[in-house]
Chain A
Amino acid sequence: NAGVTQTPKFQVLKTGQSMTLQCAQDMNHEYMSWYRQDPGMGLRLIHYSVGAGITDQGEVPNGYNVSRSTTEDFPLRLLSAAPSQTSVYFCAIKGVAGGAGELFFGEGSRLTVL
């Protein structure tokens, strides 16, 4: 039982390139989300999903795209990478879509955009 698996762990991109960060879970949790972590900024919510076929924007959605075709997967797409997207990205899941509950985090994906 891996919980939340993120790939890749590290990635270097050139400005303008596109890529997808993968998030997979084996806990059958409804809620999945993507955060970015930047020094002095804490964690900021990019996009989230309360179930398959349902996604919504968080605090900083610009430049990112998501989809949720299955319960298990929630990929984050960078359409045209910019240096401002250099960050550490975390996928986090929760058992129920609403109400207080524990967020389970992945190990993070460190992205550098040159």
Chain B
Amino acid sequence: AQRVTQPEKLLSVFKGAPVELKCNYSYSGSPELFWYVQYSRQRLQLLLRHISRESIKGFTADLNKGETSFHLKKPFAQEEDSAMYYCALGAGTASKLTFGTGTRLQVTL
């Protein structure tokens, strides 16, 4: 069975500070990892996926199979980054995503 763990319910950082949202997964096969974001009063939307190895809105995430982690990072937090972030694991066909419990990022001045 697959599992996604996001240990922090709330992460509060100052504007300009580095951000790291933690995500660990449990899956015996080859995983596909995603980060989804939900801004206030908006739909949940894809932020980035590990296979793309891209940077979106300054965020990056590297899949570390040894540590079974997919932490989301940004060097300098902005106010507009305040949102709910969900890490998600796709197993097998990746159609059925397993989501973590989410971390609320709060960026303050």
Q: Which of A42, A48, A102 contacts B95 (CB 8 A)?
A: A48
Complex Cα distance A94/B88, Å?
15
Q: Which of B4, B6, B9, B46 contacts A103 (CB 8 A)?
A: B46
Known: A90-B44, A105-B43, A105-B44. Contact between A100 and B94, CB under 8 A? Answer: yes
B99 within 8 A of A: yes
Looking at the assembled complex, report how far the CB atom of B89 sits from the nearest CB atom of chain A, in whole angstroms. Answer: 11
Interface residues in A5-43 (C-beta closer than 8 Å to B): 31, 33, 35, 40-43
Q: Are B93 and A98 in contact (CB under 8 A)?
A: yes
Give the total of A residues in contact with B, Cβ under 8 Å: 27
A53 within 8 A of B: no
Q: Which of A33, A48, A105 contacts B45 (CB 8 A)?
A: A105
B57 within 8 A of A: no
Q: Which residues of B contact A90 (CB under 8 A)?
A: 44
B interface, size bucket: 20 to 34
Q: Which residues of A contact B46 (CB under 8 A)?
A: 102-103
Chain B CB count within 10 A is highest, among A33, A45, A99, A103, for A103
Known: A44-B99, A50-B95, A105-B44. 5 other contacts (CB 8 A): A41-B101, A100-B49, A102-B49, A105-B45, A107-B43
- On A, residues with C-beta under 8 Å from B are 31, 33, 35, 40-45, 48, 50, 58-59, 90, 92, 94, 97-103, 105-108
Selected A-B contacts with CB under 8 Å, 15 pairs: A31-B95, A40-B101, A42-B100, A42-B101, A43-B99, A44-B99, A45-B96, A50-B95, A59-B98, A94-B95, A98-B93, A98-B94, A99-B93, A99-B95, A103-B46
